[in-house]
Amino acid sequence: MSFNIDLLKRVCEAPGAPGFEQRIREVVLAEIKDLVDEVELDNMGNVYAIKRGKSDKRVMVGAHMDEIGFIVTHIDDNGFIRFHTLGGFDPKTLTAQRVIIHGKEDVMGVMASKPIHVMTAEERTKVSKITDYFIDTGLPKEEVEQLIKVGDPITRERGLIEMGNCVNCKSLDNRLAVFILIETLKYLKDKEIPYDFYGVFTVQEEVGIRGANVAAMRINPDFGFGLDTTIAYDLPGAQAHEKITSLGEGTAIKIMDSSTICDYRMVEFMKKTANNHSIKWQPEILTGGGTDTAGIQRMTEGGSIAGAVSIPTRHLHQVIEMAHKEDITNSIELLSKCIQEIDTHDWSF
């Protein structure tokens, strides 16, 4: 399977803070319009790519489009911008970063804080807080206010690069899943599938799985798959039992995270499918953090039989997220085969 690095770059670099997914949604819509039988949007902005199967049972896959970001809360008398986070941030990762404020036009800014040269000895030993940071655009207040207003979204600025067999960028969480779902739809385009397939590009996952909840209630799926990144803590100092996943060891089959215990029948089916097709995989138990899988599993009448394909990723929620190309390819292959063969498994208790 060839690796479409140009598509991944476009998907990762398109802005889309939670609740402001317009531009990444445009990329998705352009890519999927000729791949499926129907494309729908709901009031929240979720995108439904629907491929009809031989039976009207329903399979839902959720891949969230949004990325962690910020929102403008105040512009001071000198034109400096205060903000609130949209999603989870470790404050120290904001140091020395560029951001883009999406106002009347895109405006570049830098995350700034008190210089170390003028800090007291006590201040130098304190852990940074989000409130220690502000955004400097280099513009006076009058020009800032012509372009930017309270409520405008902000995303991080960092382009995608290749590093050995890996890719590195901001927002691989969860643009990797957007990429994988698009590539899965391409693979399945001319193939028969047993059940109606709803590939859903969801919104507002980073602030509480909001889009997936709405989409699952609308679809009421019989089967569901979350599609998201997971922690690869295969780094210096990590103990073997802490790693969760490792880069290059294959796609990850979720067993549980903090919001979902995957259906054991789905876990069994996914493992069997991977083994039958010689797809490299590793188990995932994520002790902190959740994904759209929770909404897909719960927000339906009677619940769905749910699991998840997870993509091992280092340095999550930073601008230097890193994933292995083979793990990404394995994820496409596993998801595609699961959709094709989901009717072959014994789903009884």
Q: Which residue has the tokens 């940071």?
A: 133
**Do the strands 106-112 and 98-102 form a parallel or antiparallel pair, or are they unpaired?**
antiparallel
The side-by-side arrangement of strands in the sheet containing 166-169 is 161-163, 166-169, 321-324
123 noted as active-site residue: no
CA distance 289 to 292: 11
CA distance 24 to 202: 11
* Strand (E) or helix (H) holding 72: strand 69-75
Catalytic-role residue among 13, 21, 183, 205: 205
CA distance 225 to 61: 5
Its sign, for the CA torsion 254, 256, 257, 263, is positive
Helices (DSSP H) in 189-245: which residue ranges?
210-219
CA distance 324 to 177: 13
Contact assessment for residue 245 and residue 234, using Cβ atoms and an 8 Å cutoff: yes
Alpha carbon of 169 to those of 206, 292, 318, 322: distances in Å? Answer: 17, 22, 9, 7
CA distance 135 to 153: 13
263-269 long-range CB contacts below 8 Å, 24 or more apart? 263/297, 263/305, 263/306, 263/307, 265/305, 265/345, 265/347, 265/349, 266/223, 266/305, 266/306, 266/307, 267/307, 268/345, 269/307, 269/338, 269/342, 269/345
Supply 60's token pair.
């839902």
Q: Which residue has the tokens 């199967």?
A: 53
Catalytic residues: 205
